Amino acid sequence: MIVGQRLRQGKTGSPKGAARIVADTLATLRRMDLGSSVRPLLRADSAFYGHATIGTAIKAGADVSVTVRMDPAVKTAIATIPEDGWETIEYPNAIRDEVTGRWISKAEVAEVPFTAFRSRKIAERVEGRLVVRRIPDLNPKQVEQPTLFDIYRHHAFFTTTDKQTMGTVAADKTHRGHAIIEQVHADLKAGPLAHLPSGVFTANSAWLVLAVIAFNLTRTAGLIADRGGRLARATTATIRRTLVSVPARLARTARRIILHLPDVWPWQTAFDRLFTATHAPPPAAAS
């Protein structure tokens, strides 16, 4: 579900305005009253690794999990990880050992304590963990004495989550899940955001709001109709084809309107569940 959206003018970098939308979105979550024990998690790529965005999220009571750029400070921290500190993880082409329960994989993860934004004032620094995933480089540099960064490809992210609640492997798997936003973008671009209808910024902003409302309503309909099946994760186009564009006909007889739905329809159960949940039962007939 999309909780917040904003349209920006012209060509601008990803971080511009990010802190504002993060603050607005987290404020919306607080109004939804999810419970005091629920702590939101902001997941983002390296474009949003900045004090403005991360500081805003932490101030609003959220944890962060943000990809970091491989700058000298990050490389120095990675170099301090001992060789026995790496743990294999489930990854493409990995095999699980039936005896030990461990993964036989080329991908490994490790973590090290890390302080973000050390060049800023002490009050603005953020303490957390640097979680690193490494895989062997398929095209290693041909040097006489290769270093750690010549042999492996590293992907690191900074997180403030509690290690007792979310260990290294769990933190890495959770962070990788942030790529789901690309599926949301693709869904919207395949529908209402295939083009913006106007040359007026405010009109296009309103169009974006309507697109998000339609997306949320459609996704909710799919979840209600088929919580444990295909429609729970289906795209907007699939839900529209299966639950909205129904080959049905209306008939009137004896002052009653009858909806005739198709026979042997594979989505009948899902449609019935959605219809029952969203429509009140008809009034009782007068005796």
Domain extent listing, the chain = 18-177, 190-277
Average confidence (pLDDT) over 81-87: 90
Q: How many whole angstroms separate alpha carbon 20 and alpha carbon 23?
A: 5
- What confidence score (pLDDT) does residue 138 get? 66
Q: How many whole angstroms separate alpha carbon 7 and alpha carbon 48?
A: 17
- What confidence score (pLDDT) does residue 116 get? 93
pLDDT at 10 over 80: no
pLDDT-derived band at 143 (thresholds 50, 70, 90) equals low
- What confidence score (pLDDT) does residue 98 get? 60
Tokens of 230: 């295909």
pLDDT tens column, 88-106: 887 766 666 565 666 556 7
DSSP run (H or E) holding 82: none
Give the three-state DSSP class for 11.
coil
- What confidence score (pLDDT) does residue 14 get? 82
Give me Rg for the CA atoms of the chain: 25
One DSSP character per residue, 95-126 reads: EE-TTT--EE-S-EEEEEEEEE-TTS-GGG-E
Question: Crossing angle, helix 180-189 and helix 201-225, to 10 degrees?
Answer: 110
pLDDT at 145 over 70: no
